[in-house]
Amino acid sequence: MKRIDEYHRWVEWSDEDQVYIGKCPDLISGIHGDDPVQVFKDLGEVLQEVIDHFQRVGRALPAARIRPMMEVS
């Protein structure tokens, strides 16, 4: 399994902002855009950059805590 696959990520519509928001609370606060498919793709790219950065500087990645059926506050 790739390291990125340990982290749950999703895209949801925000009525307040009128955009799709891509989330991965274990690594980043989120990104946004108008196309949900593109937001998910971009989210994966950003997460991979974060993972690569952690590995490049020798920092341990945070443990994946968010799971698909768990409430996120």
For residue 66, the model assigns a pLDDT of: 81
Q: With respect to residue 45, please indicate whether it lies within any of the assigned structural domains.
A: yes
Q: With respect to residue 31, please indicate whether it lies within any of the assigned structural domains.
A: yes
For residue 52, the model assigns a pLDDT of: 97
Which of residues 68 and 33 earns the better pLDDT score? Answer: 33
For residue 5, the model assigns a pLDDT of: 92
Q: With respect to residue 26, please indicate whether it lies within any of the assigned structural domains.
A: yes
Rounded to two decimals, the pTM is 0.85
Q: How many CB atoms lie within 10 A of CB 41?
A: 14
* Confidence band for 70, pLDDT divided at 50, 70 and 90: low
Average pLDDT, the chain: 92
Q: With respect to residue 70, please indicate whether it lies within any of the assigned structural domains.
A: no
d(CA 3, CA 23) in angstroms, rounded, equals 17
For residue 45, what are the domain limits? 3-56
Q: What is the mean pLDDT of residues 16-42?
A: 96
Q: With respect to residue 25, please indicate whether it lies within any of the assigned structural domains.
A: yes
Q: With respect to residue 66, please indicate whether it lies within any of the assigned structural domains.
A: no
Q: Structural domain tally of the chain?
A: 1
User: Would you call 45 exposed, middle or buried from its count of C-beta atoms within 10 A (0-12, 13-18, 19+)?
Assistant: exposed
| CATH code at position 8 | 3.30.160
Q: With respect to residue 71, please indicate whether it lies within any of the assigned structural domains.
A: no
Does residue 66 contact residue 26 with C-beta atoms inside 8 Å? yes
